[in-house]
Amino acid sequence: MDLIELSEAFAKIDPAFQRKADSIFAHWHPDIPPWTQLLGEFGLTISEMTQGGKFNAVEQALFLVEKLLTSGSSEVRDSIATGLLEAILAESSAGKLDFQKIVCFMGNKSKDYCRAWDKFTGIKTPGL
């Protein structure tokens, strides 16, 4: 799966992901954006969706995240973890996201990474 295919997979879930991808790709044009940059923005999109009560889209996005963490290439897995999941955790730490609202949609690999990140940073994310 390349970055465009990854973007398209998220865009099928909600148009907000497509808008974010369009913006990132336009900013980096003619180059391809870094994977972690795009996935970090998708993490912020998940936070915004949660704040907007779009829990169906959040659930679908986090299901895709788990699928990619278990079956994606190492580049995809690393970008999901260090881009998307860390962006979500940063939003929670900044008080912009109630993590407890989304943890029920996260799979085991996602939660394991988040717990490891908490341990590394010395932060305890509520609900994790």
Model pLDDT for residues 2-57, shown as the tens digit of each residue: 888 999 999 999 999 999 999 999 999 999 999 999 999 999 999 999 999 999 99
Residue 18's pLDDT is what?
A: 97
Domains of the chain, by residue range, sit at 3-121
Residue 111 half-sphere exposure, CB side, CA atoms within 13 Å? Answer: 13
Residue 2's pLDDT is what?
A: 87
List CB contacts of 89: < 8 A, sequence separation 6 or more.
Answer: 99, 114, 117, 118, 123, 125
| Residue 95 main-chain phi, psi, to 5 deg | 80, 15
114 near 106, Cβ under 8 Å? yes
Q: Is the pTM of this model over 0.85?
A: yes
The identity of residue 19, as a single letter, is R
